[in-house]
Each structure stands twice: as C-alpha cells, then as structure tokens.
C-alpha cells in the first residue's frame, strides 16, 4: 500500500519512527498523576487497580471524512468526539469511566499530536484517563476508542428493560449537534455555541449514574438520533411507545431534533419519574424532560397519535 | 468521501444497513453461552461480571495491506491475527483474558462476515469472548481489537523490572512467522506449517500466567522481533544484556529469528530460572529457553560478544 497525501489532513514534514511518535504522544495524553499501583502507557498492556462491581466496556470508531468533515473542523475534533462518544456509552449504562485506550491509523505525516490533543481534552473533561494505545499507517485517519468503566453496586442499566406504563424521559433538548453542523456548513465560526455543541459533545455521566441510582428500567444514549434510537430501545424491550412531546433545542429544527444524532443526551424509561426528578435535582442536575410513555403493543409507535417512523443515521456497509 | 473498490478485498453484492450487518455479525462472534449476569453484544456497552484483582487492558490495530498482504492471505487472517496480537499483550503481563471488543472500518461491500469469522476463531482458541464492537465505512479494512483481562492475585509483570544478573529466557524458538510469510511469498500453500504459524499465531497465555506465578521480574511479548523488543525491555529496565544463544526455529533463518516479529513468544527475565522451568513443566508447558543474561551497564548490548543492534519492524508515521 502506498498511502496518498490527502490535502485536507494537517501534515507534518517528515515521517518519524513509531517509538519516537509514541513517546511524544504519551506526553500529550498521559496523566500527570498515575494512581499508585497502576501502570499506563509504555508496557504491553496497561495495569489498573481493581474494579468495583460490574465491569462495563464499549468501543467506538470514528473516521475522518465519515464522522467529521475535515474541511470544516480541525483534526482535534475527531479525537475529542471519538472519546466522548465512547464515554457516553458508559454513561448510558449508568457506569463510571475508569480508563480509555485509543487505536489510531493515519497516512504518513498526519499531525498525530493535534489528533491526540483532542482526545486528551475529552479524557480530562470526562475524567477518563487514556492509559494506552496503538498506531498504524493507513489511508484514512481513524480513531478507535475503547472505554472501560464500573458500576460499583452492580445494576448496569440495559436498553431492554422498559415496561408498559413507564414514562419516557430525556436528559435535555435535542438537535443541538445537528444544528451546529448545519450552522458550520453555512459559515458559522468554530466558536459558535451550537457549532461547539457539535465539536465538543458532553457525555452525561452524572445523569447516567443518577438514573441508575434512581432505578430506571431502561436507558440508552441518543447517538444516532431519537428517530432511530427510540425504536431500538422499544425493539430491545419488546414494547411500543406513544410520544407526546419532542423537546427541540433552541436554534435546532424539528428534523434535527428527531434525526440528528450525537447530542448524547440519555433516553430513560422509569415507573417512578418523580423519584428520578428528585434525585437529579438533589445532585444539581437539570431536570429530565418527559417525552412520552411506553405501551405494551410493540407495533404502537406514535407521536401525537401519528406514526413515528424509524429515521436517523445508519452506515451502509 | 467516496470509497473506491479495492479488487483485492473480497466483496459482497449489495451494501446493507448497519443494524442488519451487526445482527449477522453478532451471530458469528457471539458466544453460545453468556455467563449469568453478563450482557454482551447489543446494548450501548457490554456488562461483565466483576473482575478479580488487577485489571489489564490493551488495544491493537491491524490494517489490510499493512499488517497482512491481501493477495497472499484470506481476509479472515486479518481478524484472527488482530485478536491474537491483543490477547498476547495480556499474556505478556501474566493476565487472564476476560473479554474483547472489536472496531472495524471497511469499504462498502467488504465481506465482513469472513473478517469476523477470523476474529471468532481467535476468540475461541484464546478463550476470550468478543462482547461488543463497532463498524464504520472507510477506505481501508482496519480492525482495532481491545482486550481486558485480570490478574487475580495482582502482580501483573511489567517490562521494566529486569535486574542485573537475571537470566533472559524465551518461551520458544523464533522466526516461524517471518519464515511462513517468506514461504507463502514463494508459493507455499495456506496449509503449510510455517505459513499457518504466520496466519494463526498462538498467544502464550498459559506461559504468561505460569511466569507471573513464578515471580519473573520482567516480561513482554516478541511482537516486533527480539532485535527491537529486547532493547525495549532493556530500555524500560535501565539495564543492558549479553545474549549467548538465539534459538532459531526449524525452517527459519537467523535474520528471521532476530528481526521477524509476530511469533508472540514471551521474553522473560528472572533470578530463579530453575523455579520457572519447574513451574512450566508442572503445568505441561514446553521448557523455556535461556538466551542470555541481564547486566547493569545499559550500554552493554551484545550477542556472543559482538554488538547486538536494534532492528525490527517500526511503522513510519
């Protein structure tokens, strides 16, 4: 394979030896303070202090040009978003992130430091240290992020537990990320509030842990949009739903709130929404928003009485 | 991005929706029997029963055309080798594999079933269930495998613990994988014994756990070849070495044994080689082979008195 140079990928002048690059990257993503008894970057594998309770693991891959438009966004955003997406999967189980490892492919000369700076930023805000990684050349810039976390008391929340009669709630209004992408395409600066929502999604770890503590029956993150993910939750639980409200974020359209993914708000089903609200407020979290109710008939999938079609982002493979 | 069709990648006729593909792949890599209380493929993250002792995690990425020649080997070998390489990293810490997650990118129409069959095969022989994954389109076929494992009594073995006077040993003769690649290039069939050693590397999990039990001071796997990895162990430990023997596998050349990686034999440093041998033999494992001794001076790096140069595979990035 002879990788060609893609003009949209920030380049460095000279190809460098793997060991040298890894050393430089380790200083970018490595933690200032590694807990006693742990060993992070630099060995065959990272060593972590014992986990408490159930262990939870998820992996997410992001490809430049598929998951991020290289002409509209800096390369560090690819790294940030990949780490945030993976941590969000832990949040959706009610788990606490413990560590991330990152596997990167890139054409020779790619600015790997910039890419890893984005990952380091997300690692810091999610309190999820990057403890290891791997690098290879390839034609695409790809970032595969794997995160592990723990549920100290057990009880990781699945998407398959929704029961007829449960109230459906989300942790916030929807469509901010999709609106930010549209605004950026229309020329908005990188610092625009909605553009930042697209570039720097914030995984709802505190909300997820609070929801697990409140005993919600089912939970998932809205990574591909409510129009797809709500159907997935209903499919997994063998139920239907009646949507009554669809909270559209300020600046977003209804279509963006329905089909736009990557907000990473959490979708929850519970038979005790009052308790859920109280626990959220106790912890200083924004009150969750009711969007509808779970019904027994799996074929009932409505929004204000009309059919609510499956729609949202799916890769073709 | 509009991925082009690479004629060396096995194709399927029609692009398919992500959810459909994931369902088919889940039946290939999913375990027949999932332990009670665990949840594998199909949720935001996989849920595992509590880990015992230290947790160990590593990630490895393999790219078709970089890590495997698509004209000489079937696509399933890329999957098998990626999983085996990751599990070998756990073996090198003395850990027991608990789970793997796999993130794949591929051009539209790639035979993802074949790729995942190779991963499933490696998962079975290493007793490391594949519990989750992610998929995206991309120009390259890439496989990022992350494995997590546990060291029940603690004491994961680092590469940094070698002490002057320690004996250096390897778990087997070297160069089989590189010899197999050469033989395949020269027209040997896929079933040739050395070609199989290249296609289907066997991680030394039992040996790694036995070595940890024996209290070896340092350990790593020879993924990039002794000529590079021995220097890495010496660098990490701040020591030098005097090699006296270099066990060349039958059918391999000295160069292949030195610079050829991917044998995944383990390199160990211990002050009690007799105990190590005894524990290996007690467990029915092949006796480890002495290759030299650790010395205090980090600049002493010799083989039979001559300088032993750093050599082996490094990516340019």
Q: Which residues pair with A240 in a beta bridge?
A: A295
Contact A139 B140 (CB under 8 A): yes
Give the length of chain B. 317
Q: Give CA angle at A212 (A85, A263), nearest 5°.
A: 30
B136–A103 CB contact, under 8 Å: no
Predicted confidence at residue A13, as pLDDT, reads 53
Q: For the sheet with B142-151, list strands across it.
A: A46-48, B54-63, B142-151, B96-106, B130-137
Q: Which residue, chain included where needed, has tokens 């059919």? A: A307
Q: Which residues of A touch B61 (CB under 8 A)?
A: 103-105, 134-136, 144
Of A72 and A10, more confident: A72
User: Is A65–B1 a contact, with Cβ atoms under 8 angstroms apart?
Assistant: yes
What does each of the 317 residues of chain B score in pLDDT, given as a tens digit? Answer: 333 445 456 655 566 777 788 888 889 998 778 988 899 998 999 999 999 999 999 999 999 999 999 999 999 999 999 999 999 999 999 999 999 999 999 999 899 999 999 999 999 999 999 999 999 999 999 999 999 999 998 899 999 999 999 999 999 999 999 999 999 999 999 999 999 999 999 999 999 999 999 999 999 999 999 999 999 999 999 999 999 999 999 999 999 999 988 999 999 999 999 999 999 999 999 999 999 999 999 999 999 999 999 986 666 66
Contacts of residue A104, Cβ cutoff 8 Å, sequence gap at least 6: A112, A115, A116, A133, A134, A135, A136, A141, A142, A143, A144, B61
The pLDDT score that the predictor gives to residue B24 is 87
**Contact: B146, A103; criterion CB under 8 Å:** yes
Q: Chain B residues with CB inside 8 Å of A220's CB?
A: 43-44
pLDDT at A217 over 90: yes
Q: In this predicted model, what pLDDT tens digit does every residue of A15-25 receive, in sequence order?
A: 677 778 888 88
Grouping H, G, I as helix, E, B as strand and the rest as coil, residue A293 is: strand
Whole-number pLDDT of residue A10: 62
- φ, ψ of residue B309 in degrees (nearest 5): -75, 155
pLDDT tens digits, residue range A223-276?
999 999 999 999 999 999 999 999 999 999 999 999 988 999 999 999 999 999
A vs B: CB pairs below 8 A: 270
Same fold, A18-151 and A167-307: no
Q: How far apart are the first and last CA of chain A?
A: 22
pLDDT at position B59: 97
B306: left (phi over 0), alpha (psi -120 to 50) or beta: beta
| 8 Å CB contact of B220 and A90 | no
Q: What is the pLDDT of residues A52-109, one digit of tens each?
A: 999 999 999 999 999 999 999 999 999 999 999 999 999 999 999 999 999 999 999 8
What residues contact residue B201 under an 8 Å CB cut-off, 6+ apart? B81, B84, B85, B88, B177, B262, B263, B264
Q: Which two tokens stand for residue B182?
A: 């050469």
Burial (CB < 10 A; 0-12, 13-18, 19+), residue B247, is middle
Supply A259's token pair.
């089909």
pLDDT at A33: 83
- The owner of tokens 């069939």 is B189
Band (A158; pLDDT cuts 50, 70, 90): very high
Contact criterion met (CB < 8 Å) for A18 and B314? yes
Query: What single DSSP character describes residue A194?
Result: H
| Integer Cα distance of A312 and A314 in angstroms | 7
Q: Note the Cα B50 to chain centre separation in Å.
A: 25
CB atoms A220 and B43 under 8 Å = yes
B57/A132 Cβ within 8 A: yes
A73, A191 Cβ separation under 8 angstroms: no
What is the C-alpha end-to-end distance of chain B, expressed in Å?
A: 22
Chain A residues touching residue B232 (CB < 8 angstroms): 19
Chain A contact set for B25 (CB, 8 A): none
- Reduce the DSSP state of residue B233 to 3 states and report it: helix
Give chain A positions within 8 Å (CB) of B16.
316-317
Q: What is the pLDDT of residue B19?
A: 75
Query: Computed over its alpha carbons, how large is the radius of gyration of chain B?
Result: 20
Paired tokens of A155: 């009880």
Our CA-based measurement puts residue B306 at a distance from the nearest CA of chain A, in whole angstroms, of 25
Q: Provide the pLDDT for residue B4.
A: 42
Q: Do the bridges between strand A289-295 and strand A266-270 make them parallel or antiparallel, or are there none, so unpaired?
A: unpaired
Can you give the residue ranges of every domain in chain A?
18-151, 167-307
The alpha carbons of chain A give a radius of gyration, in whole angstroms, of 20
CA-nearest residue to B8 within chain A is A1
Interchain CB distance below 8 Å, A156 and B132: no
Question: Which class in CATH covers the domain with range A18-151?
Answer: alpha beta
Residue A59, number of CB atoms within 10 A of its CB: 27
In CATH terms, the fold of domain A167-307 is Phosphoribosyl-aminoimidazole Synthetase; Chain A, domain 2 (3.90.650)
Element (H, E) at B219: strand B218-221
Provide the pLDDT for residue A20.
81
Checking if the pLDDT of A6 tops 60, the result is: no
Length of chain A: 317
Q: What pLDDT is attached to residue A2? A: 38
Q: What is the pLDDT of residue B303?
A: 96
CA dist B197 and B212 (Å) reads 25
Select from A45, A103, A131 the Cβ nearest to the Cβ of B89: A45
β partners of residue B110: B11
Q: What pLDDT sits at residue B153?
A: 87
- The chain-wide mean pLDDT, for chain A, equals 93
- What integer pLDDT is reported at residue B9 of this predicted model? 60
Minimal C-alpha gap between A146 and chain B (Å):
7
């Amino acid at each position: 394979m002879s990788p060609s140079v893609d003009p949209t990928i920030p380049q460095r002048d000279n190809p460098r030896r793997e060991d040298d690059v890894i050393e430089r990257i380790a200083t970018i993503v490595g933690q200032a303070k590694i807990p006693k008894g742990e060993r992070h970057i630099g060995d065959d594998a990272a060593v972590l202090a014992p986990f408490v309770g159930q262990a939870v693991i998820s992996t997410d891959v992001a490809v430049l040009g598929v998951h991020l438009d290289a002409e509209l966004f800096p390369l560090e955003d690819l790294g940030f978003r990949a780490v945030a997406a993976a941590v969000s999967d832990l949040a959706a189980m009610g788990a606490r992130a413990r560590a991330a490892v990152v596997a990167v492919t890139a054409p020779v000369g790619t600015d790997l430091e910039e890419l890893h700076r984005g990952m380091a930023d997300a690692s810091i805000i999610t309190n999820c240290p990057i403890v290891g990684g791997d690098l290879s050349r390839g034609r695409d810039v790809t970032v595969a992020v794997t995160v592990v976390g723990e549920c100290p008391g057990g009880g990781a929340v699945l998407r398959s537990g929704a029961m007829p009669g449960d109230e459906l709630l989300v942790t916030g209004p929807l469509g901010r990320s999709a609106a930010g992408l549209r605004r950026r395409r229309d020329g908005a600066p990188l610092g625009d509030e909605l553009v930042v929502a697209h570039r720097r999604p914030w995984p709802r770890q505190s909300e997820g842990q609070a929801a697990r503590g409140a005993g919600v029956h089912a939970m998932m993150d809205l990574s591909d949009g409510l129009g797809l993910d709500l159907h997935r939750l209903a499919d997994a639980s063998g139920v239907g739903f009646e949507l009554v409200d669809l909270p559209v974020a300020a600046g977003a359209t209804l279509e963006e709130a329905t089909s736009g993914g990557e907000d990473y708000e959490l979708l929850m089903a519970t038979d005790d929404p009052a308790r859920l609200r109280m626990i959220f407020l106790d912890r200083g979290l924004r009150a969750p928003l009711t969007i509808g109710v779970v019904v027994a008939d799996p074929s009932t999938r409505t929004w204000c009485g009309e059919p609510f079609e499956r729609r949202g982002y799916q890769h073709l493979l």
